[in-house]
Chains A and B, each alone.
Chain A
Amino acid sequence: MLKSRQDLKALTERAREALQKEKLRILICAGTGCVANGSLGVYEAFREELAKRGLSYKVELVHEEDNAGTALNISGCHGFCQMGPLVRFEPEGVLYLKVKKEDVPEIIEEHIVHNRPVERLLYHHPVTGQVVAREEDIPFYQNQVRVALELCGLVNPEDINDYLAHGGYQALEKVLFEMTPEDVIKEIMDSGLRGRGGAGFPTGRKWAFARSAVGDKKYVICNGDEGDPGAFMDRSVMEGAPHRVLEGMMIAGYAIGADEGYIYVRAEYPLAVKRLKKAVADAEALGFLGDNILGSGFAFRIHIKEGAGAFVCGEETALIASIEGQRGMPRPRPPFPAQSGLWGCPTIINNVETLANVAPIITRGAGWFKQYGTPTSPGTKTFALAGQVAHTGLVEVPMGITLREVVFNIGGGLRDGKEFKAVQIGGPSGGCLTEEHLDLPLDFDSLQKVGAMIGSGGMVVIGQDSCMVEVAKFFMTFVQNESCGKCVPCREGTRRMLELLTKITQGKATEEDLLLLEELALVVKDGALCGLGKTAPNPVLTTLRYFRDEYEAHVREKKCPAGVCKALLSYFIDQEKCRGCGLCARSCPVEAISGEKKQPHNIDQVKCIKCGTCMEKCKFGAVYTA
């Protein structure tokens, strides 16, 4: 238990020394992605193989009877999930990709015994074939600037000493012993940090409101209810550097005068819950949480609350209701949570990524933070790059970088030679950006101007073979499902919009339907109670704005230009390719296919239900759609 600043300094010193003594550190990624690909088996294989060869190693940083120079650790997410399981060797920073347990003996023999990397497991440039050994030199990482994610992939998320050795809890120490709460708020305000959860509200101002709110009891809530489909940066931070989040919350608590905090995590993130619980227990054991922290007189406690699967709980007032044990439904604001939040007390709610930025701003200063990004959107932003892009994963870049840079340089362009069509940014609250926006700077204000938003930072790349009406329908289905039902515009409006979109994709819509859809979208946008409802029409509005011709093709010509909407397709049999085997006719559920044996078959368009079974069954590729 650390009772004073000196105790902390001594322990940090010990952790740093232990880290310096390490000659070799093997880091095996244990983020959700790599675990799914079998990284825990790789970890076990390393343990077995090292033991078999009589090589001593340690799994905890600070260890009493330790003189092994080799450390074997798990790490958080590196972001390059597609290439997992990832294994990193420190100090050189060599990164091995797609490591299987069978590769482990070779890695140990070559890398550790003979000190030469195993080339076949390194990154190979897909075009030039160039081999890259160091993680930092891989094109995916070259244009990234990591602040919120800087420790993910480098520290063992389950070892608090490792966090200390990497500068952890230094910001808390500085705040408790060298700064007043007002100083802290001023520093955050000067940094220009804006909320990374979606709306981009200045964090410092939020804290100042809560500081000045009257109340004996105040709360800090960390919003880890990352519900936007396609976003996973918060998950990675909670899994990869959980203490960073705790430290940010403690500093926020000190700044506003709160002594209790809650982390609200989605139930879909079991690993994040486990790591956070361990982090809280370890922080309590060392005295970073509890009464009289480090002898400063400041007291703070953190509880973990698991969500139960409701997108709307990412909205702050709904989240508060959920923590209180109720249905997660939003309420009108004002009063804002900073005045009346959890159990009626002044409360601040910050997103995970926002809180992960707090400690570095405190230790390195607002000026350092502002060197990245744009004047109105300083700092960096993480984006979850997914969809039809060559390199999927988590990237962190300075605000203001262009979309082209992210998709084509970092993401390596589209996969399988597909052609770029759009980027859906910000999840169901965001919008679509097209080719004309590729050189648009990615920051809060520029995106707002074109009808989209950064949102939580989900970035799904869409190729020419996707139908934008179908994409809009996909999001509307999602929002409709997740609408809590409290206010009429959202409850009824999203349902009617979904009906209209379904009609369009089925080729049953008229020109009036298209106008009605647009009108409804604007009504929902203006009339809904909470952020979820107000932003729900964005995917429809942006696709209508940039891909109106696709909507019109569905309505006027009853055609889906991308060939996605099944109801608008007709199945035909290529008379040249058909061998007359009869397999399609036998598998057709409605007996729509006929033909003589060994003669080309035909599909009766009246009977056909467009199930696609014939196409699936045909061994000669003779069935086609038009």
Chain B
Amino acid sequence: MEGTGRKFEKLQEIIARHEGKVSHLIAILQEVQQEYRYLPEEVLTYIATALNIPPAVVYGVATFYAQFSLVPKGKYVIRVCDGTACHVRGSEPIHFALRKELGLAEGQQTTDDLQFTVETVSCLGACGLAPVVTINDREVHGQMTTEDVLRVLRAIKAGESQEERREAHA
């Protein structure tokens, strides 16, 4: 399969950049996930073979850290901070509002069309702005309310950038 061949080519590049060092396993997985938005099973096996370690070790690391996902994530990953500061300032209603708006069933994190993933994160360290929501780790939205977060979501759906949204908001 041509598609698979190209997939492994990128993978090989990443592994080569880390000189195949086992101590770089976490960094390799991070870069691979950035490439594919998740860690496909065959990729884990490929990495194990390339680093000459058992697949169980790679799988063990991939399942240990919260950052890694073995299932595909949405194009937009919305992370609702649920650190202490955000929690006492109402991050839960925000999380529920997002899930409800996107029609996510219990236990479901990603919409069926792979557009949105909603997850919570323990603390983003932006406690002064609680409650905080980030989009794809790049955009940070502080002092959110349920209305604000739904406005942000609808704006993403309408295809606006953060800058445009901020202006519309102001």
Residues of B close to A33: CB separation below 8 A:
126, 128-129, 142
Interface size on B, residues (CB 8 A): 42
Does A82 touch B at the CB level, under 8 Å? yes
User: In the docked arrangement, what's the CA distance between A388 and B60, Å?
Assistant: 40
Q: Mark B2-23, 1 if CB is under 8 A from A, else 0.
A: 0000000000000000000111
Q: Mark B105-139, 1 if CB is under 8 A from A, else 0.
A: 00000000000000001111111111010000100
Residues of A close to B66: CB separation below 8 A:
308-310
Residues of B close to A458: CB separation below 8 A:
84, 127
> Which listed segment binds B: A19-27, A105-113, A320-328, A522-530?
A320-328
Residues of A close to B130: CB separation below 8 A:
386-387, 392
Known: A36-B132, A309-B65. A232 touches B26 (CB 8 A): no
Does B83 touch A at the CB level, under 8 Å? yes
Q: Please tell me if the beta carbons of B126 and A232 are within 8 angstroms of each other in the complex.
A: yes
Q: Please tell me if the beta carbons of A38 and B166 are within 8 angstroms of each other in the complex.
A: yes
Does A230 touch B at the CB level, under 8 Å? yes
Interface size class of chain A, counting residues whose CB lies under 8 Å from the partner chain: 35 or more
Residues of B close to A427: CB separation below 8 A:
84
Residues of B close to A37: CB separation below 8 A:
129, 142
Q: Please tell me if the beta carbons of A325 and B123 are within 8 angstroms of each other in the complex.
A: no
Return the chain A residue nearest B120 by Cβ: A481
Residues 152-170 of B contacting A (Cβ, < 8 Å): 163, 166, 170
User: In the docked arrangement, what's the CA distance between A593 and B128, Å?
Assistant: 41
Q: Mark A218-230, 1 if CB is under 8 A from B, else 0.
A: 0000000011111
User: In the docked arrangement, what's the CA distance between A266 and B67, Å?
Assistant: 11
Does B61 touch A at the CB level, under 8 Å? yes
> Which listed segment binds B: A267-275, A435-443, A444-452, A506-514?
A267-275
Does A563 touch B at the CB level, under 8 Å? no
Q: Please tell me if the beta carbons of B64 and A328 are within 8 angstroms of each other in the complex.
A: yes
Known: A33-B128, A325-B23. A228 touches B67 (CB 8 A): no
Q: Please tell me if the beta carbons of A227 and B123 are within 8 angstroms of each other in the complex.
A: yes
Q: Please tell me if the beta carbons of A387 and B126 are within 8 angstroms of each other in the complex.
A: no
Q: Please tell me if the beta carbons of A308 and B29 are within 8 angstroms of each other in the complex.
A: yes
User: In the docked arrangement, what's the CA distance between A229 and B57, Å?
Assistant: 29
Residues of B close to A305: CB separation below 8 A:
26-27
Does A32 touch B at the CB level, under 8 Å? yes
User: In the docked arrangement, what's the CA distance between A1 and B24, Å?
Assistant: 30
Does A75 touch B at the CB level, under 8 Å? no
User: In the docked arrangement, what's the CA distance between A280 and B158, Å?
Assistant: 41
Known: A310-B64, A328-B65, A387-B89. A35 touches B84 (CB 8 A): no
Does A301 touch B at the CB level, under 8 Å? no
Does B102 touch A at the CB level, under 8 Å? no
User: In the docked arrangement, what's the CA distance between A37 and B142, Å?
Assistant: 7
Does A384 touch B at the CB level, under 8 Å? yes
Residues of A close to B121: CB separation below 8 A:
268, 309
Q: With contacts A232-B127, A309-B121 known, what are 15 further pairs, Cβ within 8 A? A: A79-B128, A82-B128, A229-B87, A230-B123, A232-B125, A308-B67, A326-B61, A327-B60, A327-B64, A328-B64, A328-B65, A392-B128, A393-B128, A460-B85, A484-B64
**11 A-B Cβ contacts within 8 A?**
A38-B166, A79-B128, A228-B123, A229-B87, A230-B84, A232-B128, A305-B27, A307-B26, A384-B85, A460-B85, A466-B88
